[in-house]
Amino acid sequence: MKRVRTRMVSSQPKYELIQEVGRGSYGVVYEAAVKRTGARVAVKKIRCHSPENVELALREFWALSSIQSQHPNVIHLEECILQRDQLAQRMNHGSSSPLYLEVRTKNSQEQGWWQYTVV
């Protein structure tokens, strides 16, 4: 199992959603911009109404981090961010355009936003 480092991050959103680009069984993908740099990114938001859905998302994160160096078509996992009522993941997709995944949890006792870096 991988170690996880945590640190407090800003409560201000890093991304501005521009438009919806796709929908699937587990979430919605948006075109977005990084507020600080203006870089275009993809943001995937997944609603989770149970702890099982959060656990499933975490398994995907760890699977990606385990196989990302084994194939050029696998998205590179850059970071995982836990936010109040949300779990978010920022990933790099090929042309240095990051993807950002948010998983919303129904009941969270966390205050503030926490960044989890899988190492």
Residue 57 CA to residue 80 CA, distance in Å, equals 11
Do the annotations mark residue 44 as ligand-binding? no
> Please, are residues 75 and 82 in contact by the beta-carbon 8 Å criterion?
no
Q: Which residues, 6 or more positions from 85, have their beta carbon under 8 angstroms from its beta carbon? A: 104, 105, 106, 108, 110
The binding site for ATP consists of: 45
The binding site consists of: 45
